[in-house]
Amino acid sequence: MIERKFVEERLKEFQIQEYISRNLKGIGHSRTKLVRTPLGEKIVIYAARPGLVVGRQGQNIKNLTIALKKKFNLENPQIEISEVERIDLDAHIVAERIANALERFGSQKFKAIGHKAMTDVMNAGALGVEIIIAGKLPSSRAKSWRFYHGYLKKSGEVSFTGVHRSHASAQLKAGTVGIKVSIMPPGISLPDTITVKKAGESAAPVQASAGQAEAAEQKGKEQQEKKEGKKEEKKRKPRRKRKAEEAHEEKGG
């Protein structure tokens, strides 16, 4: 029963996010976060242009609050609007902007739209970006066009936790065009990143490593001396045998 309750809550949260995303399409909506408080449900909406989300005299927020109460049986939903600081590093906003530009200017300028979005993302300081536009562009046969720049992880834990991904769709005369955006933001810690420390910080480790190197070198010399001693013993054994044989022959004669 407890598992069912958790699943129902997560499903309800997902439905609320999808509903808000559909209603706020085209105004720079990024994501929605649902927080449960003792007073009720707190819904945080991240958007590039909060003024359009709020509306004139807060009318859009009022209508959205009433709709959420009726549709999802929320007791006291409190909607909070938060502005996205760096919109060019938000994958959802970038994908939505590309979709809006394709619907506005048509499929003939999809290359210019893709290159401009890629340049804006890299100028914002991203480590890497990948934009895939798939559909009937520009001919009647469906194709996939890839715009790629920088460094982007495709496998490993960083590709799931550090890379921001989103998708959107544009409705054109030729049909539906899909847009997929992947962005690796700046400041992410990669497992293959090398950091150079200052002289004061690296002095102790260097001394320790030097002592270890001297100990390893001394051990190697001892092993080499042992090997050389064994070789000399092997060489001396035949000579001793010869001397013993010569001495035995002299006694017999």
Q: Where do the domains of the chain lie?
A: 2-85, 88-184
What is the CATH topology of the domain spanning 2-85?
A: GMP Synthetase; Chain A, domain 3 (3.30.300)
Contact between 152 and 162 (Cβ < 8 Å): no
pTM, full prediction: 0.68
- Sign of the C-alpha dihedral computed for residues 73, 76, 81 and 87 taken in this order: negative
- Answer whether 142's CB lies under 8 Å from 134's CB: yes
Question: Nearest to residue 106, comparing CAs of 178, 181, 27, 170?
Answer: 170
pLDDT of residue 235: 57
Hey, what CATH topology would domain 88-184 get? Ribosomal protein S3 C-terminal domain (3.30.1140)
Averaged in consecutive runs of 10 residues, what is the pLDDT profile of the chain (253 residues)? 80 86 81 82 85 83 86 83 87 91 88 93 92 88 91 87 90 90 88 76 47 65 71 58 62 55
Neighbour tally for 153: CB within 10 Å = 19
